Chains A and B, each alone.
Chain A
Amino acid sequence: MAIATLSTEKPPIEAMEVVYKRPESLAEVQTHYCPGCTHGIIHRLVAEVIDELGVREKTIGVAPVGCAVFAYQYFNVDGCEAAHGRAPAMATGLKRVMPDRIIFTYQGDGDLASIGGNEIMHAAARGENITVIFVNNANYGMTGGQMAPTTLPGMVTTSSPYGRDVKTQGYPVHITEMLAIMPGVAYASRNSMHSVAEIRKTKKAIRKAFEAQIKGLGLGIVEILSSCPTNWRMDPFESLEFIRDHMVPVFPLGEYKVHDELKRRK
């Protein structure tokens, strides 16, 4: 009886203030991401920024090959699916024929830093007006957790079972630092998903990377340290601690390049 009373005494809808809702740019579907994976949060941040900038109806997303291969189904914007590593080239084609549209790529570290190294370098060198969301989870998530160019020294993966030996398997690749020195890059930042505070900062960085494009300043890239509990063989909390304690020291956070025009606004 008490329950029935409660439900009929709901305040009228207009009186309630909505403080949290699904961004319009995020499709109303369930994602396939593993529990504790931070891809989903990053999707939400990107969608919130697209909403806030009011560009949903002129945005086109380019999905990678990797865990985010279905990203185009999760964003409520026009989308396509590039070949492995080629998203920056596909985005270049889209942007060059539609300079007034907002084009973003969403790529993993195997996709962007390994097989697609050439495509991202040259998109940056040309100063393509695109936004790049670069999710670094230190391994090839989709194919079962193999070593990526971003895998930490000593880190065990399914293809570095003795731990990454830098003598024979090389060193982690620092894409954001490399891109930051290129004149065509307007914004380059490395952020992390390991705490609420860092997630907030990540959203600000994503916003700037989109603003760089809207203002026609050049390429904007946000590298985001992201968790992969399944392949790291950790629970979600341990994964976040792993980012904080092990990834951040190798991949220092912060803005590496901020175009003057992005600094001026408060």
Chain B
Amino acid sequence: MSKELWKGNEALAEAAIRAGAEAFFGYPITPQSELLEYMSRRMPELGRVFLQAESEIGAINMVYGAASAGVRVMTSSSSPGISLMQEGLSYIAGSEVPVVLVDIMRGGPGLGNIQPSQGDYNQMVKSAGHGDFHSIVLAPSTLQEAIDLIYDSFELAFRYRTIVVILGDGSLGQMMEPVEMPPFKEWPNERPDWALRGAKGRPPNLITSLYLGAEKLEALNLRLQEKLARIKAHEQRHATFMAEDAETLIVAFGTVGRIATSAVRQARAEGMKVGLFRPITLWPWPEEALDALLETGRIKNILVVEMNAGQMLEDVERIVARRVPVRFYGRMGGAIPLPDDILPILREMQGRPAGEMAATEPVLA
């Protein structure tokens, strides 16, 4: 198959369609709107469901309804819209229906701006709503990876009856890259036995997150925790770049992971032993792999780079558990960390003179 030039948001939409998305409900918001617009053209063409909802609250609850019917349904939004979806996401998690959600993050807090950001890390990874639950959070760093991840997201969502989040940022949504689109997936016709399809020849099915007795609700929570443990055991994914002999390790996800790859290349050209660890699943965080790298004893220090104030940093510090020093470089509000910003820090960490620092230097730690 040959490569074609695609725009991020549209590529995600087409890949989701080929993955088997049967219904899309959403609400416009920059820098995600092209995904919704693409769906509005393409879904009717294929006889599938597209509906522009009255709000993100409406959209996520429509998604909840369609998911309750055992249908492969998705929505997409950007940070402020995701905040509005949190109520619905919590209900969806409590009811254990499968949903795919794309969050193309923008700068916050509040209305913020429409520049790329990773400020929703905590919102998506730690707490996408009230109560104890986690979604599977996938963080692509290239368009091709985004396509490949969303292509398998419905299987993941249905296997675990969970929410699967594709967490990208404005630059991923807006960039154009040559990519390979996968073929249309075939799905069997039958629906899961828990789905609401009408109680024909069976007792009624029920989709609810309401369990009034403490014992019943604790039982649900224990079941959810058991499921999360299974996900943790089987779904940790990561990538490394030149990490085999690295002494200084950059940890970065998504777009920043890609930028960090360039920083690693430049550092290597200067003869520094620098590598990259890039989590692909942000929940479950690939802690076993990072732990294994640390256990080799080769890693002397770690630099976490993010487009936020250090949200993932807390997870890395937890896993590193003071075995080596952890530094942080973050940009916010739509500013993007560049290899030239990262290199002086790497030199310092490698015990060399930092050299010329970049013009922009809010080094936070």
The interface stretch among A86-94, A211-219, A243-251 is A86-94
A101 in contact with B61 given A80-B206, A81-B208, A94-B69 (CB within 8 Å): no
A89 in contact with B61 given A57-B201, A83-B88 (CB within 8 Å): yes
Contact B210 A90 (CB under 8 A): no
Contact with A along B195-216 (1 / 0, CB 8 A): 0111111001111111000000
Q: Which of B200, B207, B210 contacts A69 (CB 8 A)?
A: B210
The interface stretch among A71-79, A188-196, A226-234 is A71-79
Contact with A along B312-334 (1 / 0, CB 8 A): 00000000000000000000000
User: In the complex, what's the smallest C-beta–C-beta distance from A56 to chain B, in angstroms?
Assistant: 7
CA distance A95 to B62 in the complex (A): 9
Residues of A within 8 A of B142 (CB): none
Residues of A within 8 A of B61 (CB): 82-83, 86, 89-90, 93, 119
- From B63, B69, B71, B201, residue with most partner A Cβ within 10 Å: B69
A78 in contact with B53 given A92-B62, A93-B25, A97-B66 (CB within 8 Å): no
Residues of A within 8 A of B73 (CB): 93, 97
Q: Which 6 A-B pairs have the closest CB atoms?
A: A93-B65, A89-B61, A122-B54, A93-B62, A90-B65, A58-B198
Residues of A within 8 A of B145 (CB): none
CA distance A62 to B68 in the complex (A): 11
Contact B204 A96 (CB under 8 A): no
Tell me whether A49 is interfacial, beta carbon within 8 Å. Answer: no
User: In the complex, what's the smallest C-beta–C-beta distance from B74 to chain A, in angstroms?
Assistant: 12
Chain A, 32-72, CB within 8 A of any chain B CB: 56-60, 62-63, 69-70, 72
Tell me whether A98 is interfacial, beta carbon within 8 Å. Answer: yes
Tell me whether B144 is interfacial, beta carbon within 8 Å. Answer: no
Interface residues on B, range: 35 or more
CA distance A119 to B200 in the complex (A): 29
Pairs A–B under 8 Å by Cβ, sample size 5? A80-B196, A93-B67, A97-B65, A97-B73, A126-B51
Contact A78 B91 (CB under 8 A): no
Residues of A within 8 A of B51 (CB): 92, 96, 126
Residues of B within 8 A of A158 (CB): none
Contact A81 B207 (CB under 8 A): yes
Residues of B within 8 A of A97 (CB): 22-23, 49, 65-66, 69, 71, 73
Tell me whether A118 is interfacial, beta carbon within 8 Å. Answer: yes
Q: Which of B57, B59, B204 contacts A77 (CB 8 A)?
A: B204
Tell me whether B55 is interfacial, beta carbon within 8 Å. Answer: yes
Tell me whether B339 is interfacial, beta carbon within 8 Å. Answer: no
CA distance A96 to B204 in the complex (A): 21
Q: Which of B23, B88, B196, B198 contacts A96 (CB 8 A)?
A: B23
Task: Count A-B contacts at CB 8 Å.
Answer: 132
Residues of A within 8 A of B67 (CB): 93
User: In the complex, what's the smallest C-beta–C-beta distance from A15 to chain B, in angstroms?
Assistant: 31
Residues of B within 8 A of A101 (CB): 197-198
CA distance A91 to B91 in the complex (A): 15
Contact A90 B198 (CB under 8 A): no
Contact with A along B85-98 (1 / 0, CB 8 A): 00110010001000
CA distance A83 to B59 in the complex (A): 13
CA distance A70 to B212 in the complex (A): 10
- From A56, A59, A86, residue with most partner B Cβ within 10 Å: A86
CA distance A69 to B95 in the complex (A): 15
- From B65, B71, B88, B198, residue with most partner A Cβ within 10 Å: B65
CA distance A57 to B206 in the complex (A): 14
Contact A76 B207 (CB under 8 A): no
Residues of B within 8 A of A96 (CB): 23, 49, 51, 62, 66
User: In the complex, what's the smallest C-beta–C-beta distance from A265 to chain B, in angstroms?
Assistant: 25
Whose C-beta in chain A lies nearest to the C-beta of B59?
A89
Tell me whether B58 is interfacial, beta carbon within 8 Å. Answer: yes
CA distance A96 to B63 in the complex (A): 10
Residues of A within 8 A of B87 (CB): 83, 86
Contact A92 B200 (CB under 8 A): no
Residues of B within 8 A of A70 (CB): 210
User: In the complex, what's the smallest C-beta–C-beta distance from B85 to chain A, in angstroms?
Assistant: 11
Residues of A within 8 A of B69 (CB): 60, 93-94, 97-98
Tell me whether B64 is interfacial, beta carbon within 8 Å. Answer: yes
Residues of A within 8 A of B200 (CB): 57-58
